Amino acid sequence: MQVPLMDLKTEYQQLRNEMLAAVDEALESMQLFLGPNVQALEEEFAQLCGVKHAIGVGSGTDALILALLALGIGPGDEVITTAWTFIATVEAIVHVGATAVLVDIDPDTYCLAPGLVEAAVTSNTRAIIPVHVFGHPAEMDSINRIAREHSLYVIEDAAQAHGAQVDGQFVGSLGDCGVFSFYMSKNLGGYGEGGMVTTDNDKTAEQIRLLRNHGQTSRYEHQIMGYNSRLDEIQAAVLRVKLKRLQWANQQRREQAALYNELLADCPITVPTEAPGVRHVYHLYTIRTDRRDELAAHLEQQGIGFARHYHAPCHTQPACRPLGLNQTALPQTDQAALEVIQLPLHPYLSDEQIRYVATSIKEFLT
């Protein structure tokens, strides 16, 4: 049996008629930028997250950059984040001219360890970027408390956590800004590039709207130096079709994770945890074993897809060496990098496929 890590083709086949009609309508209108679909998606996404504003931008990376810029973060400022993330989180900090300060992770959730955040705050710290990695929200209560005590901004990197919740509140509504990616593999993914910033603050929202569109207030009136980072109408049309199914898709992911947990219970591996009060949306189903690379070779032989995020976390990347980030001691991050492996998980995965994967792992490890 072949079990791919994710399966976007099956999803497309299921949604094809509705998707083609939505894209056709957008093309027929020929209003291809900042038109009715972007506006509607922004409203629908803001409503889902429970925030006043959602602003569609060119990518998740741009969403991070524009959020940092809108909050006035730049040269001389320090931003605390994690190395256990996609490089974009660190890139955004560097591109606005600020300094990335990396802090170790909680080994159970892989998210920023709040106890260590406090110790990393200096007089130059201006913001914290917790990453809700793999779909599990970071410990926002503690992070927000530290931010309040030191007058810091909090930008949630929710690129991997659309629809995740803490005590019934959606990520994207838990900090000053929330940042989402619509890269195709995400829980809410488009068929190209796209991103979104969420915020309750009117001024921040207005600034991001200006920044994403060349600082334009009206046609060819440019108030500030901005960027070209508009979410396009075709992506918004695609995303609106998928947004209707996001809660269903996340529920599928949760049920699949529960089945894996049950089937792998007596296996010498660590399955994902879900902190109390949290609704994990399993962007990735991550297990840990000290025999990770042997297991990967076995899965490959069995026709089972896998990934090893993050086998090379940000501080180990050549791009981060000139910044001296490779000097940061991150023992939990380094240990996790040796042990993590992701198993197939997507809304169209069958129980039979999950059973096949679990049996293959058990046969190999026990």
Ligand X SMILES: Cc1ncc(COP(=O)(O)O)c(C=O)c1O
Which residues of the chain form contacts with ligand X (CB under 6 A)? 59-61, 85-86, 88-89, 131, 157, 159-160, 181, 183, 195
Q: Tell me how far, at minimum, the Cβ of 216 lies from ligand X, in Å.
A: 23
Residue with CB nearest ligand X?
A: 60
232: DSSP letter: B
310 upstream amide cis, omega within 30 of 0: yes
| 212 or 357: CB nearest ligand X | 212
| 86 or 282: CB nearest ligand X | 86
| 89 or 342: CB nearest ligand X | 89
Give the span between the Cα atoms of 100 and 92, in whole angstroms: 9
Contact 73, 153 (CB under 8 A): yes
Q: Tell me how far, at minimum, the Cβ of 123 lies from ligand X, in Å.
A: 27
Compute, in degrees rounded to 10, the torsion defined by CA atoms 357, 360, 365, 366.
110
| 195 or 305: CB nearest ligand X | 195
CA 67 from centroid of its chain's CA atoms: 15
Q: Provide DSSP, 325-357.
A: GGGS--HHHHHHHHHEEEEP--TT--HHHHHHH
Q: Tell me how far, at minimum, the Cβ of 179 lies from ligand X, in Å.
A: 7
The single residue listed with the structure tokens 């998740």 is: 60
| 59 or 360: CB nearest ligand X | 59
Q: Tell me how far, at minimum, the Cβ of 181 lies from ligand X, in Å.
A: 3
Scored b (16 or more CB within 10 A) or e, 277-290 reads ebbbbbbbbbbbbe
Q: What angle (nearest 5°) sits at the alpha carbon of residue 14, between those of residues 345 and 351?
A: 35
Please choose, from the candidates 227, 229, 238, 353, the residue with its C-alpha nearest in 3D space to the C-alpha of residue 302.
353
Q: Tell me how far, at minimum, the Cβ of 110 lies from ligand X, in Å.
A: 11
Mark residue 171 as left, alpha or beta (left: phi above 0; alpha: psi -120 to 50; beta: remaining): beta
3-state secondary structure 88-152: HHHHHHHHCCCEEEEECECCCCCCECHHHHHHHCCCCEEEECCECHHHCCCCHHHHHHHHHHHCC
| 88 or 264: CB nearest ligand X | 88
Distances (CA, A) of 312 to 201, 303, 308: 36, 24, 9
Q: Tell me how far, at minimum, the Cβ of 144 lies from ligand X, in Å.
A: 19
Contact 60, 179 (CB under 8 A): yes
Q: Tell me how far, at minimum, the Cβ of 159 lies from ligand X, in Å.
A: 3
Give the span between the Cα atoms of 13 and 129, in whole angstroms: 37
Q: Tell me how far, at minimum, the Cβ of 233 lies from ligand X, in Å.
A: 18
| 78 or 156: CB nearest ligand X | 156
Contact 125, 106 (CB under 8 A): no
Contact 195, 181 (CB under 8 A): yes
| 5 or 264: CB nearest ligand X | 5
Q: Tell me how far, at minimum, the Cβ of 68 lies from ligand X, in Å.
A: 12
| 180 or 306: CB nearest ligand X | 180
| 55 or 159: CB nearest ligand X | 159
Q: Tell me how far, at minimum, the Cβ of 195 lies from ligand X, in Å.
A: 5
